[in-house]
Amino acid sequence: MKFKNYKYILAAGLVSASLSSCDDFLDRPAEDSYTTDQYYQNDAECYNGVNYLYNIPWSDLLDSWFSELENAAGNQYQGNNNFVLLSIPRTNENLGKMVRTQWAAIGNANIVYNNIKGGNGSKAAKDATMGECLLWKGLGYFNLVRMLGPIPIVHDNSADIGSNAYADKYCVETADAYEYTIMTLEKAMELLPKSAAEGRLDYYSAEALLAKVYLAKSGLNMNGSRNEADLAMAAKLADDVIKNSGRELYTVYSDIFRGKNNFSKEALISWHFYGTIQPWGAGNQLPAVFGMKGFTESLTWGDWTCPSVDLMEAFGVSPLDNPEVRPEVDVRRKATMMMVGDKYDYFWRDKGGFDYLRFAYDSDYNKQSDGAYHSGTGANIVKHLVGNTNDHIAEVGYPEYSAQASGLSEHVLRLADVYLIYAEAVIGNNTSTTDESAIDAFYAVRSRSVSNYKRPTSISFDDVWKERRLELAYEGDRWFDYVRMSYYNPERALNELKNMKRSYFNGLDELYKGYYEGNGWNVTSSMNYDQNPPVINPGTDVFRFPMPDADVVFNPNLLKDPVHVDVRREYSY
CA atoms of 120 and 37, how far apart (whole Å): 9
Burial code of 70-103, b = ≥16 C-beta within 10 A, e = fewer? bbbbbbbbbeebbbbbbebebebebbbbbbbbbb
Closest CA to 207 of 249, 242, 248, 180: 242
pLDDT of residue 29: 42
Residue 14's H or E segment, with its range, is none
pLDDT of residue 163: 57
CA dihedral 269, 275, 280, 285 (to 10 degrees): 70
CA atoms of 47 and 126, how far apart (whole Å): 8
Single-letter amino acid code for the residue at 505: F
pLDDT of residue 427: 98
Specify the DSSP class assigned to residue 533: P
Closest CA to 154 of 180, 133, 128: 180
pLDDT of residue 36: 59
DSSP secondary structure letters along 76-140: EE-SS-TTTTT---TT-HHHHHHHHHHHHHHHHHHHHHHHHHTS-S-HHHHHHHHHHHHHHHHHH
Omega within 30 of 0 (cis) for the link into 29: no
Domain with CATH 1.25.40.390 in the chain: 4-192+548-570
Neighbours of 546 (CB within 10 A): 17
Neighbours of 322 (CB within 10 A): 14
* Per-residue pLDDT of the chain in tens (573 residues, 90 and over written 9): 555 433 333 332 233 333 332 344 444 344 434 455 689 999 999 999 999 999 999 998 998 999 999 999 999 999 999 999 999 999 999 999 999 999 999 999 999 999 999 999 999 999 999 999 999 999 999 999 999 999 999 999 877 655 556 678 999 999 999 999 999 999 999 999 999 999 999 999 999 999 999 999 999 999 999 999 999 999 999 999 999 999 999 999 999 999 999 999 999 999 999 988 888 889 999 999 999 999 998 889 999 999 999 999 999 999 999 999 999 999 999 999 999 999 999 999 999 999 999 999 999 999 999 999 999 999 999 999 999 999 999 999 999 877 788 999 999 999 999 999 999 999 999 999 999 999 999 999 999 999 999 999 999 999 999 999 999 999 999 999 999 999 999 999 999 999 999 999 999 999 999 999 999 999 999 999 999 999 999 999 999 999 999 888 888 999 999 999 999 999 999
Side-chain half-sphere CA neighbours of 14 within 13 A: 23
Closest CA to 62 of 295, 289, 275, 298: 289
pLDDT of residue 171: 97
CA atoms of 293 and 512, how far apart (whole Å): 18
CA atoms of 232 and 481, how far apart (whole Å): 18
Side-chain half-sphere CA neighbours of 321 within 13 A: 21
In three-state secondary structure terms, 541 is helix
* CATH code for the domain defined by 4-192+548-570: 1.25.40.390
Side-chain half-sphere CA neighbours of 414 within 13 A: 27
Task: Tell me the whole-structure pTM to 2 decimals.
Answer: 0.94
